[in-house]
Amino acid sequence: MLPDYPRELQIQFDQRVPMRDGVTLSADIYMPVAGAPCPVILMRTPYMKAHINLDTVKYFVRHGYIYISLDVRGRGDSDGEFIPYFNEGRDGYDAIEWCASQPWSNGRVGTIGASYGGRSQWLTAVERPPHLNAMIVLVPPSDPFVETPTGTPSPMHLCWLHLTSGRTLQSMDVVEWEQVYQHLPLVSMDERLGRNILAWRREMQHTQLDDYWLPLCYQQRFEQIDVPVLHISGWYDDEQIGTPLNYIGMVTRGATAEVRAQQRLLMGPWGHATNADAKLGMVDFGPQAIIDLRGEQLRWYERYLKQLDVEVGAPVRIFVMGDNEWRDEQEWPLARTQWTPYYLHSQGRANSRFGDGSLSLQKPAEEVCDTYQYDPAHPVPFITDATSSQIGGPDDYSSLQRRDDVLVYSTEVLSEDIEVTGPVKVQLYAASSAPDTDFMAMLIDVWPNGFRQRLCDGMVRARFRNGMQHPELIEPGQIYHCTLDCWNISQVFKAGHRICVQITSSAFPKYDRNQNTGEPLGLSTTLVTAKQRIYHDSEHPSFIQLPLIPRT
C-alpha cells in the first residue's frame, strides 16, 4: 500500500513564470504547508488554470507532491499571443526548468495533461528539458493530418477554435453549429460563425504536409525522447489513434533501451473524457469500466518521480468490450494476433442494409462491382453531438444504413464469439467519376435486436492516397487501391451478432465534404455528384483486415 501523507494545502496564486523571450506565464501552485522540497507535477492548459479538479490536486499534494496549474501563453492570466501548439515545446521546456529551480522543488518534475495538454507534453519532450522525469499523457492529438487526412481542418475543429478564442473560454451554446458546418467555402467558415479566427485561416493556407506543420510533428522524433510515459486513452476517444501509435513509437524507437521499457499503455471503454462514465451513448460497459485512475497515475509518479520500488502494472492494460472486462497484456499489437482478411462480396447490389452485400473469409472470384452516387449536398451524416467535446461514440447506425449511398457488407450470424483486438485497416479498390473524392469505411457490431454499434472508422481522400505530402488527383474511371486506417478497437463480437462493414463517401461533419471538383481545397462553393464504384473480384479483392485474438 502506498504511504499517505496527511499534509495541509497551501496555494500561491498567479506566480509569474518567465519564458526565454521575456513573456511571463501565470501559474497557481498547490503545495504542502511544511516539509522538505517535493517533486513537482506540472499541468499546462488553455482551458483556464483555475478550472481544475481540486480533489485531484489535494490527492497528489497529500501524497507529497507539488501540483502546478499553468495557463499557456496567451490564455487566462498568461501574457503573449495564443497560437495553438506552436509555442508549447519551448514554453514547456522553460516552465519545467523553472519548476526544478525553485526552493520548494527537489528538482524532479513530472507532467500531466489531456488533449491539448497531451500533445503539448510531447512537443515539450522532444526539446529534452533536463529535469523532465515522467509524463502522463491522456488522449493527445497526433501529428497534423493523422486524425483528419483531408488536407483541411475538420468543420468541428472550428468549434474548438471558437472555444479558445481570446483569453477566456467562449460560450458554445449560442452558436447554431449545424448551420455553420454547412457553410462554403470552407476558408470563410469562421465568418459564418461570427468570428475572424486567424488560426483557421492559417491552417486553410496549408492543405498538405509542408514545412509549416513540421514544428508540430513529434511522432517522427521518438528517438529524441528519454522519458517514462503512461499513455492513456479510450476506444471511443475521437483522437484515439495517437495513443497506441505513441506507445508503439516509444517502445520501439525511444532514446534508450531503458526508456523503451518504461512505457505503459492503458485503454478503456471511454470517449475523450477518460474514466468519466461506465455508459457511453447507448452502451453500458458495466461498473468495472470505471477504475481508480488517480491510483494508476500516483503509482507512476511514485515510481519515476520519487524513484520508489512501486509496481506500476503490466505494459499494456486494455478493456475488452463485449466481454466488458480488463485484461493485462505484454505488448501492442498483441503477439498472438491472427491478421485475418474479411472480403467484401455482392452481386452488385450492396446498397443499404437491405442489399445483398456480404462479408466472409472466402476470397472473391468474378463479381460485379457495387455503385452508388455521392452527392456532397446530401452527405451521409456522422452521428455526433453538435460540438467537438466528444465526436462520435458507440452509436446506432441502423437508420443511416437505409440509404442507397451506403454500401453494407455483413457476415452470417456468428455461431461463436470472435475477438477483434488491435489496429483495423481496410484495403479498398475503388473508382470515381470525379478527379478527387473520399471513401469512408466503418466497422460495426450488429446486435440480434438490430442495434448497429459503431466501433471504429477511417477514410481516405483520393488526392492524398499516397500520403499527405504528395497530393495527386485521380483519373476518372480508373481503379485505384487505397488503404483506410480505421484506428484501433478491442471488441468481442458475441455469438448471435454479425460483423459488418459499411463503405460510403462522407461522414459529415466529422470530416468536411469532398466537393468532387479537384479544385484547390477550401476555396470553392461548387458541389458535384460523383458516381462511385467499389470493386471486389479476383483482381481487386477489397477486404477489411481484422486482428483476431484466439479465444481460450
- Residues noted as catalytic: 115, 237, 272
* CB-neighbour burial class of residue 20 (10 A; exposed 0-12, middle 13-18, buried 19+): exposed
d(CA 484, CA 428): 8
Q: Left, alpha or beta for 192 (phi > 0: left; psi -120 to 50: alpha)?
A: alpha
d(CA 316, CA 267): 8
Q: Are the C-beta atoms of residues 87 and 110 closer than 8 Å to each other?
A: no
β pairing state of 438-446 and 38-45 = unpaired
Q: What is the DSSP letter of 224?
A: G
401 Cα distance to chain centroid: 25
DSSP line for 308-369: -------SEEEEEBTTTEEEEESSSS-TT-EEEEEEEE-SS--BSTTS--EEESSPP-S-PP
User: Grid coordinates standing for 296?
Assistant: 494508476
Q: Left, alpha or beta for 517 (phi > 0: left; psi -120 to 50: alpha)?
A: alpha
- Residue among 546, 453, 491 nearest 327 (CA): 491
d(CA 174, CA 221): 41
Q: Are the C-beta atoms of residues 439 and 482 closer than 8 Å to each other?
A: yes
Residue 69, beta-bridge partner list: 28, 43
User: For 396, what's the count of Cα atoms within 13 Å in the CB-facing half-sphere?
Assistant: 9
Q: Hey, what long-range contacts does 195-203 have (CB within 8 A, 24 or more apart)?
A: 195/162, 195/165, 197/158, 197/161, 197/162, 197/165, 199/83, 199/84, 199/161, 200/153, 200/157, 200/158, 200/161, 203/152, 203/153, 203/157
183 Cα distance to chain centroid: 25
Locus of grid cell 507532491 = 65
Q: What is the DSSP letter of 412?
A: P
485 Cα distance to chain centroid: 13
